[in-house]
Structure 1
Amino acid sequence: MPAHTPRDSAQPAQAQTLAQGPAAAIRLLADRGYEATTAEDLADAVGVSRSTFFRRFGSKDDVIFADHDLALAELEAHLSSTDLSPSEALITGTCNVLRLLIRDPEAARLRFVLVRQHEQLKERELVITHRYQRVFARYLRANLAADAPGWVAATFAAALVALHNQTLRNWLRDDVDDAPAALGTQLREVAAFYRDWLAPAVPPLTTATSAPAEAQPVLPSGSGSRVVVAVYDTGSSPDEVLAAVAAQLSH
């Protein structure tokens, strides 16, 4: 058998193991106890070496919140690349975070219990909450209308985080079945309050055609004013555009 075969065939298996690592670690911590569980124990539970565990997850505190690190990375990627309107981009991104965090229901519930039992984990969770809020606020500041009050980004970002956390708690108490759908409904109600301060979505650029510059009149309004819409190729000169507009205005 070629020497490279074992290494190559092990890579997909290890990748799958690492992807499942946080859930396996959380289950062990809940079963054995947070204080009694060592990093070596967690590495064994995940199925990797101690060095690989530390390289991939860090400390045992880090592995508990590994899903949040992934959710934050995916949220930032979504907000930086989406073509959705600012409001829908935020709603979709927030629902995606919740969907990721509860994709393994058992692990999500065990993580909640672990965090409630240990003060240092509560403090770590609070820091992560602020990280989400900063991501939302940064995106909002870049997508607000020029006349938006200064408090809009901070309050909308805080509302997104608060609604997400409340919906997650409701789901943990079995008060809601489809948590992402419930969250989306609530977020749209809140987003309506901020709608006037959000910049409109930028329409996609259209491909330039080879049509020459031309202008088309629009039906006059009741006040007697007249509007002319100019359609022109990007290669048209300013003189050609002005000539087409002038021709219509002279009719």
Structure 2
Amino acid sequence: MESIKQGFFKARGTALRRVESREGDLSLYLFLEKTGPIWVAAPGAAKGRRRFGGAAEPLIFGIYSLYSGRNRLYLRDIDVKEDFWTLRKKPLHLRGGLALAKLIVDYLPPNHPCNELLSLFFWALRSLEDGVSPDIVKWRFLWRWLKYWGIAPDFDRCAKCGAPLEDARWGGEGFYCSNCSEPGTGISFSGTALQEVRRAAILSRRVFVKWTTQEEPCFSKWSELNEKLVYLLEKERR
């Protein structure tokens, strides 16, 4: 709150969490451009004829009109720019989007501006809306997030000795060559599988969506690999 001047202002962003009190008050955990994640209050907005309606639901992107008081931010209005309505009609993909929102809640510190991550989140939701597997979208989202923070695993060279990788095995924090990895541990990657996880991370979004929805990647352990990236986020948070 120290960085926000008292008074009215507007900010682009999205809601990550929505909490309603028994008294009918509404609290939103917003992810705002230039501000980062922050709680805002809307007293009485969740009772009777609900103020804001569906505009105050998680995953909706818009321009938020806010008032900064001495100790709290208050929500005045929401100008919806993208409601991801098609995504909301796909339960599996919607759960994937909410899982990404939870990662931001858990691992991005409050009041920590990260405009790159806000943009990344938007396009991850768009990819889910386009029908891409939630596990593959999560991998792309997490790897690019870690890349912004400078801790993403390298696909091209061994994390220990720096040798070029043809095939690999996941070690403690990245991809290891056959000489540096311990057989039977981590996740094993053939050359083809390694190239697929690389493609999923670095392709342009248009090509990424076309590839993942029209072809079937051979690599299947996306969920296990995502757990490894979440571990890196957890380590960074400490």
Q: TM-score, normalised by structure 1?
A: 0.24
Q: TM-score, normalised by structure 2?
A: 0.25
More helix by share: 1
